[in-house]
Amino acid sequence: MLNIFKRNNKKNNNIYAFATGDLKPIEEVNDDVFSQKMMGDGIAITPSSDFIVSPAAGEIVMIYSTLHAFGIRLDNGIEILVHLGLDTVAMNGEGFMKLSSVGKKVKAGTPIIKMDRNFFLDRGYDIDCMLIVVKNDKNIPISFTKTGYVNAGQDVIGEIGEQDE
């Protein structure tokens, strides 16, 4: 029997750009915690705009009080952390504006945080933003293959493989 409906029922397994800017491997981030994958595997973007968006459909499970990072749980249980800049936690929320809230269901491209890039650059901060896979209990394969300039919520930067059930 032909399985002609399978493609139509397939979930979107893409991870989209969480910022507009230059995408690069996590290993190129100027911080050992990220570049050596101590928190998990991921990817980085040097943003060229101020809006940081959800990289996939899921639920916002955490936004740090300092607004420098947020977490999303995808429908398949994978948890992703998006971290904005290096050492920006020291600004205690200054330079950030919260655009979403914990418990909110989001889709790829939903604005989460506005980051005033010039505010941080003027103070000497590195504005690289990282997406880290922090929880993947089912060991679902995830690949990040794209590099170069990407558009927030539009360009696919990674793929989540099919999980074995």
- Positions annotated as catalytic residues are 83
Q: What's phi and psi for 17, nearest 5 deg?
A: -55, 130
H-type alpha helices, the chain: 6-9, 32-35, 117-122
SS3 content of the chain, % helix, strand, coil (to 5): 15, 40, 50
**C-alpha span between 58 and 39 (Å, rounded):** 20
Q: Where are the beta strands (DSSP E) in the chain?
A: 14-16, 21-25, 42-47, 51-53, 58-63, 69-74, 79-84, 96-98, 105-106, 111-115, 129-135, 142-144, 148-150, 156-160
